[in-house]
């Protein structure tokens, strides 16, 4: 029931399926989570190569010439280039479009095939990028990478939420974000090493390195089982029962959970147009969350840090090696903090992590904004930060990254993937991915322009959004930990606001009879 008017208790949920976290389920979730590597690797690699002089000189000569004029160029604007940002952001526009096609593949052919398809397309894009000889080839490769990311981001979180026992869903689903952070760290390390290669071809190794995580998820998906939910959805009920027993333990009675999955599947088959159905009033809470959470996740400002960390640090007066080293440090912090989320999301719940993370990010953005204002003021001049100011900038950026990594990072993927009923689950996840990719595209495309125009005010801009998102979570997101995925509707029925949209069972049956 409603607690304090804003949260919902999980005590109303009567289901308590037996079962444990088996080594089989853990292996399947661990293997699937590697799909996050391709997304993370690209996030990390893009900013690194765009700070390499040889890469800029070959593909973006105007930016290279502007960057070379370090002594007379406004620090805030030295990397401003719509073409340069298009290189980064084109991937996310492609991922947005691909996510809608991935929804159909995921629903009709299964989660694992969608993952494998994404990995194979991403692998092709990585090879093209490594061999690129002109900007057109580079953009084609980026588009293929984006299609791969769209498929992986659509299917992997669903797979993890459906495969995991509900008591461990937070930890296992957070593995996706953990792999994203490992991919970012790995990419930052590769950039740091390849930047030192003489001859100016190190960027090819950096871009081509994306083939490694792509090959891992492509091969791994071949050996993965599909989820019981997906098997039932595609009428493989006998196989689904056997799979559910393997996941929960062969000595466990899974009949109650299996029948609930079958009932959910039967209900989903009555929905012939999930894209139309998701707009119905009774699904309003899930629809709002599938839009609001990914939208707000991107306006934390995290991609301003992770996309362009080397460029940003270089803009702020760090040298070439120092900027890459600083981004490597933030990548390491990202991984460690995400591990904390793995161990805390099922213990403390989603809401408290969202609220704490949002508050910490807000404070860090404000402090970093004032530090940059102190260092450069309005219209930055070409000076290097003092060692003390530099250390403070890195420290508070690391504190910001850590807050995101144990809150909005993993939970931004976890919560949307666990709240949808089966009949609209693939469509809902596609909306989640599409919104995420669209605003990732906008941030990637306009970030350097915003930095040039807003200067240090950019950090205050993101801080304002962090305040908004924290208030939103406090009032509108109920707690979802410890609730079986097919019983999630109960959290909306007991919420102070969303309960008005969720019909009682009698009303819903009457609506179905009318239809």
Name 2's bridge partners.
Answer: 8
d(CA 205, CA 55) in angstroms, rounded, equals: 12
Whole-number pLDDT of residue 426:
79
Whole-number pLDDT of residue 314:
62
d(CA 177, CA 170) in angstroms, rounded, equals: 11
Does residue 76 belong to any structural domain of this protein? no
Tell me if 3 sits within 8 A of 9, measured CB to CB.
yes
Whole-number pLDDT of residue 352:
95
Whole-number pLDDT of residue 92:
84
Whole-number pLDDT of residue 353:
95
Written as six digits, the tokens of 154 are 């659509």
Give the closest residue to 99 by CA, choosing from 154, 142, 141: 154
Does residue 77 belong to any structural domain of this protein? no
Q: Cα 432 to the chain's mean position, in Å?
A: 10
Does residue 79 belong to any structural domain of this protein? no
What is the number of structural domains in the chain? 1
Which uninterrupted H or E stretch holds 486? none
Whole-number pLDDT of residue 145:
93
Give the closest residue to 144 by CA, choosing from 165, 126, 167: 126
Give the closest residue to 194 by CA, choosing from 246, 130, 238: 130
Q: Nearest 5°: CA angle at 160, between 141 and 274?
A: 80
Written as six digits, the tokens of 487 are 């019983």
Place of tokens 């871009």: 207
Does residue 92 belong to any structural domain of this protein? yes
Does residue 333 belong to any structural domain of this protein? yes
Which uninterrupted H or E stretch holds 2? strand 2-3
Tell me if 391 sits within 8 A of 326, measured CB to CB.
no
Residues 6+ apart with CB under 8 A from 484: 13, 15, 17, 166, 257, 260
Whole-number pLDDT of residue 388:
73
Written as six digits, the tokens of 458 are 């950019």
Place of tokens 């908004």: 468
- Per-block average pLDDT, block size 10, for the chain (515 residues)? 41 61 89 89 80 82 70 58 75 87 86 92 94 90 92 90 86 88 87 81 90 91 90 89 86 82 78 81 93 94 67 59 70 88 88 96 90 66 61 85 92 90 84 89 79 82 95 95 84 92 62 48
Whole-number pLDDT of residue 147:
94
Written as six digits, the tokens of 146 are 């984006």
Whole-number pLDDT of residue 443:
82
Which domain, by its residues, includes 182? 2-71+84-514
Phi first, then psi, for residue 379 (nearest 5°) are 60, 80
DSSP 349: -
Q: What is the pTM of this model?
A: 0.78
Does residue 179 belong to any structural domain of this protein? yes
CATH number of the structural domain spanning residue 123: 1.20.1250.20
On the CB side of 156, CA atoms within 13 Å amount to 38
Does residue 78 belong to any structural domain of this protein? no
> Does residue 251 come out as left (phi exceeding 0), alpha (psi in the -120 to 50 range) or beta?
alpha
* Maximum C-alpha span of the chain: 74
């Amino acid at each position: 029931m409603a607690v304090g008017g804003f949260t919902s208790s999980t005590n109303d949920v009567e289901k308590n399926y037996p079962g444990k976290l088996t080594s089989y389920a853990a292996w399947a979730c661990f293997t699937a989570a590697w799909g996050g590597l391709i997304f993370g690797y690209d996030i990390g690699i893009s900013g690194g190569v765009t700070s390499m002089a040889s890469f800029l000189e070959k593909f973006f000569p105007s930016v290279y010439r502007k960057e070379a004029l370090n002594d007379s160029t406004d620090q805030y604007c030295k990397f401003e280039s719509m073409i340069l940002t298009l290189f980064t952001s084109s991937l996310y526009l492609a991922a947005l479009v691909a996510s809608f096609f991935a929804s159909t593949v995921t629903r009709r052919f299964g989660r694992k095939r969608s993952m494998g398809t994404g990995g194979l397309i991403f692998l092709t894009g990585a090879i093209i990028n490594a061999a690129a000889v002109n900007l057109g080839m580079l953009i084609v490769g980026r588009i293929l990478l984006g299609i791969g990311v769209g498929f992986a981001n659509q299917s992997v979180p669903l797979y993890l939420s459906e495969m995991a026992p509900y008591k461990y869903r937070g930890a296992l689903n957070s593995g996706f974000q953990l792999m994203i952070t490992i991919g970012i760290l790995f990419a930052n390390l590769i950039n740091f090493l390849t930047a030192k290669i003489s001859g100016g071809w190190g960027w090819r190794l950096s871009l081509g390195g994306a083939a490694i995580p792509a090959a891992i998820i492509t091969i791994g998906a071949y050996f993965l089982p599909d989820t019981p939910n997906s098997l039932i959805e595609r009428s493989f009920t006998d196989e689904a029962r056997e799979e559910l027993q393997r996941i929960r333990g062969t000595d466990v009675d899974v009949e109650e959970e299996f029948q609930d999955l079958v009932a959910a599947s039967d209900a989903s088959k009555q929905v012939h147009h999930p894209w139309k159905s998701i707009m119905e009033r009774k699904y309003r809470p899930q629809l709002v969350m599938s839009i609001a959470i990914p939208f707000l996740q991107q306006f934390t400002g995290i991609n301003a840090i992770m996309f362009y960390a080397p460029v940003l640090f270089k803009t702020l007066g760090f040298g070439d090696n120092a900027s890459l080293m600083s981004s490597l440090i933030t990548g390491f912090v990202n991984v460690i903090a995400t591990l904390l989320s793995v161990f805390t999301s099922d213990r403390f719940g989603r809401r408290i992590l969202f609220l704490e993370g949002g508050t910490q990010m807000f404070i860090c953005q404000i402090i970093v904004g004032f530090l940059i204002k102190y260092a450069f003021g309005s219209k930055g001049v070409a000076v290097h930060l003092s060692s003390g100011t530099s250390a403070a900038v890195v420290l508070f950026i690391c504190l910001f990254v850590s807050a995101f990594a144990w809150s909005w990072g993993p939970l931004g993927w976890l919560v949307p993937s666990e709240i949808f009923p089966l009949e609209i689950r693939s469509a809902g996840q596609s909306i989640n991915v599409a919104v995420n990719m669209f605003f990732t595209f906008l941030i990637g495309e306009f970030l350097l322009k915003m930095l040039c125009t807003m200067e240090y005010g950019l950090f205050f801009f993101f801080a304002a959004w962090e305040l908004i998102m924290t208030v939103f979570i406090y009032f509108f997101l109920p707690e979802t930990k410890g609730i079986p995925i097919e019983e999630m509707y109960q959290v909306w029925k007991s919420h102070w606001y969303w309960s008005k949209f969720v019909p009682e069972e009698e009303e819903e049956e009457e609506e179905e009879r009318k239809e």
